[in-house]
Structure formats: structure tokens, C-alpha cells
Amino acid sequence: MDIESLMYGYDLGGRVMFSEPRRILSGELGAQLSRRVGSSLEFMEHRDYFPGDDLRRIDWNAYARGDRLAVKLFREEVYPHIDLLLDVSRSMNLVGSRKGEATYALAGFFSSVAAESRYSFRVFLTDDGCRVLDRSHLTPLEWESFELSATNSPNEALFRQPPEWKPHGIRILVSDFLFNADPALLISRVAEGSAVTILVQLLAEADVEPLERGYCRLTDSENEEELELYVDLGLLENYKRNLARHQDNYRVVARRCGVFCVTVIAEHFLNTGRLDELFDLELLKYPNSK
């Protein structure tokens, strides 16, 4: 386990906290409230009635006033808890890159952000199944040691043993998403029962610009299979198109599911300590900002 990177991320997160994003509003009794429709007692707004809606939610007083059938929508409760699902497959420790450092640093970062925000926090690792990292509710220095060495993907881990998520909390999945999976099925598995879900795609510069032209030997980081090939400009351009299409597929599905999806470049994060997309989405803020 890279303690130095974990603590580097933890130090960065000490200056950042979770904000009240567009769909999270302050609540009572230690909970928060989401702009996503839920079943709490906090009224949010009306919308027109559609066939199939729960008849118990029709606002008959509004109908009497305006001769229009409308249903009441309620805010969903969001509890101050974060579950972080961390991809610990070999691809997250790409040789010749700083991707492994960034994986540990992001885990430390989100732990610190949770502490700054006074949220409870827990880490799940994608080993043979999704297992809780021992002592991850404490500071990273006290965590159980773990390596980025799993040979299965997060999708396989979710299928074998799903995490015991805390309902109505915030869920964050950190992965490179460079594995075969149905984005809709994967995202639904992660987001089901959550209030807010964030997908953080962590890529190394070498994932984005992977090869120089010429003969090379590639080694699959998961199964260690080797492939020799000649890399030309056409192959590089085809790789970039496929990567962009892969990313677009995840982003489209994420939008449909109300899930946030961001991409982080390992070297940029480690050099700058910035996660601009999460600030742009109003998910993170500095403690003194409104």
C-alpha cells in the first residue's frame, strides 16, 4: 500500500468538503435531502398527473383550485455517509505511469473530504467480490494494507459479491472502466438505493496517449497475455476513437440514470491536486465558500 500517496490525497482533501449540489439540500436530524424524488415527508413540488401514478399522491386541493390533476413530489433523504468502491485491479497500477499513486491518493482524498464534511466513510475493494476495507472509517494511516493486484474487473466483483451499501448515501466508484461491461447494468448496480452516485474514471496519460509508432509488445495487465504488433498512425487514431466512444457510452447512461460521471488524469491530479469537474458540478467546495 502506498501510504505516502494516501496521505498526500488526505492532505489535499483537508481543504475541501462536499457541497450541497443541485439535488442535495439541507435537512434535519443529521440527514440531508435530495432533489431526486423520494418518499420522505419533505414536500418538493407538483407535477402533472400521468396514468400509472400513485393515486395517493394526487393533490386534490390543487385540483379543486385549478381543475388540474397534479401529484405531490417529495425529496429523497440523503444520509451523511459515503461509500467508496475502489477498483484495485492490476490496470489501476499501470507500469510506467503514476496511475497507482493517483488511485491511492484519490482514496485518501475522499476520506479526508468526508471527514471535513462530517460524513461517515467506508471503502470497498473489488477483489474476488466487493469487500469492506478494514478500518477504512478511520484515517488512511490506520487502514488495512491493500494492493492494486486483483485479476478481475469491478463488474465481476459486483456480480460475485455486491457491497453492503448504506441506503440513501453518496456512492463513489473510482475505476478506469477499461473492461468489458454493460454500462447500464454496471451503473444501475452501483446507483440502486443511493441518493447521489459519482463515477470517477481515473486514467493515466499513457491510457490516453498509449503508444509511439513502431513495433512493440503489449502485455495485458489483468491476465499477462502478450501481443506483438506494429503501431502506425491509423491504429493510434482508431484507439482514440474507441476510447472516446467508450467514455461517451458511460456518460450517456450516467445522465439517463441521474449519475455524475467525471474523468481524472492521474498525472494532472497528482501535480495540481485539483478535481475541477467535481467543483464544476457543485459536488465539492472549499469550506469558506457558500
CA-wise closest residue to 27 among 45, 46, 41: 41
Per the CB < 8 A criterion, the answer to whether 170 and 195 are in contact is yes
pLDDT of 130 strictly over 90: yes
**pLDDT tens, position by position, 186-231:** 999 999 988 889 999 999 998 888 666 555 555 555 555 665 665 6
Distances (CA, A) of 243 to 68, 69, 182, 246: 48, 47, 15, 5
Residue 99: pLDDT band (50, 70, 90) is very high
What does the pLDDT average to over 10-23?
A: 78
CA-wise closest residue to 105 among 221, 207, 3: 3
> All 3 cell numbers of residue 164?
453492503
pLDDT of 22 strictly over 80: no
pLDDT of 127 strictly over 70: yes
Q: How far apart are CA 252 and CA 283, in angstroms?
A: 19
How many CB atoms are located within 10 Å of the residue 56 CB? Answer: 7
Residue 71: pLDDT band (50, 70, 90) is low
Indicate the DSSP class of residue 124. E
Indicate the DSSP class of residue 58. B
User: Would you list the domain boundaries of the chain?
Assistant: 3-22+79-283, 32-77
Indicate the DSSP class of residue 62. H
Q: What is the pLDDT of residue 37?
A: 41
Indicate the DSSP class of residue 254. H
Strands 196-203 and 170-175: parallel
Distances (CA, A) of 251 to 14, 186, 218, 287: 29, 13, 28, 29
Per the CB < 8 A criterion, the answer to whether 69 and 49 are in contact is yes
What does the pLDDT average to over 164-186?
A: 93
> Strand runs (DSSP E) across 49-164, as ranges?
70-78, 81-86, 120-126, 130-132
Percent of residues, the chain, with pLDDT higher than 90: 53
Q: How far is CA 14 from the centre of its chain?
A: 19
Residue 96: pLDDT band (50, 70, 90) is confident
Q: What is the pLDDT of residue 78?
A: 53
Q: What is the mean pLDDT of the chain?
A: 82
**Is residue 61 classed exposed, middle or buried when 0-12, 13-18 and 19+ CB atoms within 10 A define those classes?**
exposed
pLDDT of 233 strictly over 90: no
Per the CB < 8 A criterion, the answer to whether 193 and 18 are in contact is no
Q: How far apart are CA 76 and CA 195, in angstroms?
A: 7
Distances (CA, A) of 178 to 34, 89, 203, 232: 31, 11, 9, 22
Q: What is the pLDDT of residue 105?
A: 97
Q: Regarding the domain delimited by 3-22+79-283, which CATH topology (the fold level of the hierarchy) does it fall under?
A: Rossmann fold (3.40.50)
Q: Higher pLDDT residue, 171 or 24? A: 171
Q: Higher pLDDT residue, 49 or 276? A: 276
pLDDT of 51 strictly over 50: yes
Residue 20: pLDDT band (50, 70, 90) is low
Residue 33: pLDDT band (50, 70, 90) is very low
Per the CB < 8 A criterion, the answer to whether 280 and 286 are in contact is no
Q: How far is CA 236 from the centre of its chain?
A: 28
CA-wise closest residue to 239 among 205, 210, 199: 210
